[in-house]
């Protein structure tokens, strides 16, 4: 995820910016840059690759000055490249901007500014901001930024410098985190506390809709409308490692809690302004090509494969196209029937998984069009696929995948709706209802997260067992497969996920007194049948923990403990019901004293077959 650092003071800003950016490296990035006000005006140096590449450039030609902004970019709009790196400037090179987040209406702003004579050089949404501010500037940078922000839609944190007012650094926050560090005769901005911790422990945490104007003498906080705000300084007593995890004990927990944001960012500009339909500008397929699709193959590994299982139901139910889902390591060895009318969807958080990449190549060799759903813009999968839907979950650092999985689900919902719109398999009212329910998901996840203590209690019981079962039917079955994988990989407890109706064909023999069974029962049309299966395991002594939808009263009567998730459309429940299962495995792993973020024998990215 992108990182921002800014400095105004009396020291060499270049060094402070680079050191600050190094502290943000853990967030992941693919390019970096700085802008410094020097005796020759505002100067920018930026480059694709690691910070060391930028450092070499700056070593050859240092930027000497005491005010500057810096950025590490994790590509979203446009590939990783020198030109797409931040900071971005306007054509006069008098304004410079660093930005985290997404400007949803950047295309219309770009068209408007282009018509006014602005020339754009990058593929980014950010470049629009520097041009917009330049176009609105009339001698007051604070006012120009305020006016610019009223024109921008999306989520963003900004650092802005202009050569015309070289003692001021302007910072803005709208849904993307930004903090202000307060020092003696010097002040800082950072997208994250570690960036400034070496220099000060006194910070202001900006809230959404707030901005700050930093000079050497002090910091003014105000709303985006210009009303001044007074706020107590927050003293940070975290060490650097805790700060990297934003105060969470582990990256996995932080990433579980980042899911509402990941959902919002992944939906972002892909839902049109009316909130009733999906816009997928990144899909290059024409309506005729979409209509020619005869079947879909979804191919992936591990957690991404589990997202693909849900994706199958989503596409089949919304677009009525037959879908097969395959584990990537099996796909190309089973001689799959791939034709030019097959759409192959590869799903990969990292975009570098060897088996998934090999499946993609096999599909292309056979003439199929390939759509990638990935979290990493410049990854191999993204580069080799014909179309790419990026999941804007931000970098996932814990080995156990959480926010990447749920963002992949969101990508499938968006793509399924897009197919339905194009093929006319669902009417406008139905699509509008699903889009509206999708937009309610982030708040519903927040509601589940607020009850994490309940799940923690269950996880502590589970952690004392060596075997357990997960059961469910329909979409619930696919979600429990993911729950079981998560528990295995980080708690090392053996578990099996079973289609609830399949137990009695053999596995029921393993149910004995006291064994935990986690039962998911969120699918209304399958509810009664799932309850029957729960009774089968209860009758053999299992201790059943049930997950159901709020408002449903029957499950509590047949299980030992229940947890309710907010109600939503049946097709969307996986995006909610997986969250308690993620928390369950996290807390079980914690209770067993395991290394949650780095489980034994596993790597984050599997680049070998």
- Which residues participate in catalysis according to the annotation? 2, 604
Backbone angles phi, psi at 236, to 5 degrees: -90, 120
Task: Mark residues 333-352: x for contact with ligand M6R by CB under 6 A, - for none.
Answer: ---------------xxx--
Q: Give the alpha-carbon dihedral of 262, 574, 485, 608, to 10 degrees.
A: -50
Task: Mark residues 391-430: x for contact with ligand M6R by CB under 6 A, - for none.
Answer: --------xxx-----------------------------
Residue with smaller CB distance to ligand M6R, 38 or 348: 348
Backbone angles phi, psi at 148, to 5 degrees: -60, -40
Ranges of H-type helices in 71-188: 106-115, 126-136, 141-151
Candidate ranges 27-35, 86-94, 298-306, 548-556; the one touching ligand M6R (CB under 6 A) = 298-306
Quote the least distance from Cβ 398 to ligand M6R, whole Å.
Answer: 8
Q: Give the alpha-carbon dihedral of 362, 366, 367, 370, to 10 degrees.
A: -30
Contacts with 399 (C-beta within 8 Å, 6 or more apart), sequence order: 489, 490, 597, 598, 599, 602, 603, 604
Binding flag, residue 388, ligand M6R (CB under 6 A) = no
Q: Give the alpha-carbon dihedral of 211, 215, 220, 225, to 10 degrees.
A: -40
How far apart CA 395 and CA 391 sit, in angstroms, is 10
Q: Kindly give the pairing relationship between strand 295-300 and strand 342-348.
A: parallel
Quote the least distance from Cβ 344 to ligand M6R, whole Å.
Answer: 15
Q: Kindly give the pairing relationship between strand 543-549 and strand 67-73.
A: unpaired
Quote the least distance from Cβ 604 to ligand M6R, whole Å.
Answer: 7
Tokens of 10: 């009396």
Q: Which residue is nearest to ligand M6R (CB)?
A: 302
Binding flag, residue 304, ligand M6R (CB under 6 A) = yes
Quote the least distance from Cβ 491 to ligand M6R, whole Å.
Answer: 12
> How many residues form the binding site for ligand M6R (CB under 6 A)?
15
Task: Mark residues 588-607: x for contact with ligand M6R by CB under 6 A, - for none.
Answer: -----------------xx-
Q: Give the alpha-carbon dihedral of 41, 42, 47, 50, to 10 degrees.
A: 110
Q: Which of residues 454-493 bind ligand M6R (CB under 6 A)?
A: 489
How far apart CA 212 and CA 462 sit, in angstroms, is 48
- Residue where the block lists tokens 């899911």: 259
Chain contacts with ligand M6R (rule: CB under 6 A): 301-304, 348-350, 353, 356, 399-401, 489, 605-606
């Amino acid at each position: 995820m992108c990182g921002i650092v800014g400095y105004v003071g009396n020291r060499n800003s270049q060094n402070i910016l680079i050191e600050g950016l190094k502290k943000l490296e853990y967030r992941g990035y693919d390019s970096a840059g700085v802008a410094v006000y020097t005796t020759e005006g505002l100067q920018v140096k930026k480059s694709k690759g690691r910070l060391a590449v930028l450092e070499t450039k700056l070593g050859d030609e240092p930027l000497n000055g005491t005010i500057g902004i810096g950025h590490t970019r994790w590509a979203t709009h446009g590939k990783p490249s020198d030109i797409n790196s931040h900071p971005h400037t306007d054509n006069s090179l008098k304004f410079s901007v660093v930005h985290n987040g997404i400007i949803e209406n950047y295309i219309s702003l770009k068209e408007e500014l282009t018509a006014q004579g602005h020339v754009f050089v990058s593929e980014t949404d950010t470049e629009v901001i520097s041009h917009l501010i330049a176009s609105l500037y009339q001698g007051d940078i604070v006012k120009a930024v305020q006016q610019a922000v009223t024109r921008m839609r999306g989520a963003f944190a900004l650092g802005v410098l202009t050569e015309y007012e070289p003692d001021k650094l302007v910072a803005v926050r709208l849904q993307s985190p930004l903090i202000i560090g307060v020092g003696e005769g010097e002040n800082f901005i950072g997208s994250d506390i570690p960036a400034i911790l070496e220099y000060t422990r006194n910070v202001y945490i900006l809230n959404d809709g707030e901005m700050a104007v930093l000079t050497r003498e002090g910091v003014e906080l105000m709303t985006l409308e210009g009303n001044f705000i007074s706020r107590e300084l927050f003293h940070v007593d975290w060490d650097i490692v805790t700060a990297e995890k934003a105060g969470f004990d582990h990256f996995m927990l932080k990433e579980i809690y980042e899911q509402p944001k990941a959902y919002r960012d992944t939906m972002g500009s892909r839902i049109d302004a009316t909130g009733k339909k999906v816009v997928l500008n990144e899909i290059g397929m024409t309506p005729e090509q979409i209509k020619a699709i005869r079947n879909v193959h979804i191919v992936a590994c591990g957690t991404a494969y589990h997202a693909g299982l849900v994706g199958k139901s989503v596409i089949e139910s919304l677009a009525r196209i037959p879908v097969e889902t395959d584990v990537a390591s099996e796909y190309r060895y089973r001689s799959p029937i791939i034709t030019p009318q097959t759409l192959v969807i590869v799903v990969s958080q990292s975009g570098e998984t060897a088996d998934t990449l090999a499946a993609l190549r096999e599909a292309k060799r056979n003439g199929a069009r390939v759509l990638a759903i990935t979290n990493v813009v410049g990854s191999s999968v993204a580069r080799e696929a014909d179309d790419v839907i990026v999941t804007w979950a931000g970098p996932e650092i814990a080995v156990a995948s959480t926010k990447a999985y749920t963002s992949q689900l969101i990508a499938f919902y968006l793509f399924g709706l897009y197919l339905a719109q194009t093929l006319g398999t669902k009417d406008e009212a139905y699509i509008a209802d699903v889009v509206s329910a999708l937009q309610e998901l982030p708040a519903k996840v927040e509601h589940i997260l607020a009850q994490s203590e309940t799940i923690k209690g269950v996880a502590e019981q589970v952690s004392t067992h060596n075997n357990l079962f997960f059961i469910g039917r329909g979409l619930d079955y696919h979600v429990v497969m993911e729950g079981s994988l998560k528990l295995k990989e980080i708690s090392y407890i053996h578990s099996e996920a079973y289609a609830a109706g399949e137990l009695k064909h053999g596995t029921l023999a393993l149910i004995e007194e006291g064994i935990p069974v986690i039962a998911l029962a969120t699918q209304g049309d399958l509810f009664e049948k799932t309850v029957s299966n729960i009774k089968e395991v209860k009758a053999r002594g299992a201790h059943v923990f049930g997950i159901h939808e709020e408002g449903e009263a029957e499950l509590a009567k047949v299980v030992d403990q229940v947890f309710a998730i907010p109600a939503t459309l049946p097709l969307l429940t996986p995006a909610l019901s997986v969250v308690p299962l993620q928390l369950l495995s996290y807390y079980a792993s914690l209770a067993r004293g395991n290394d949650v973020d780095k489980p034994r024998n596993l790597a984050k990215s599997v680049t070998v077959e």
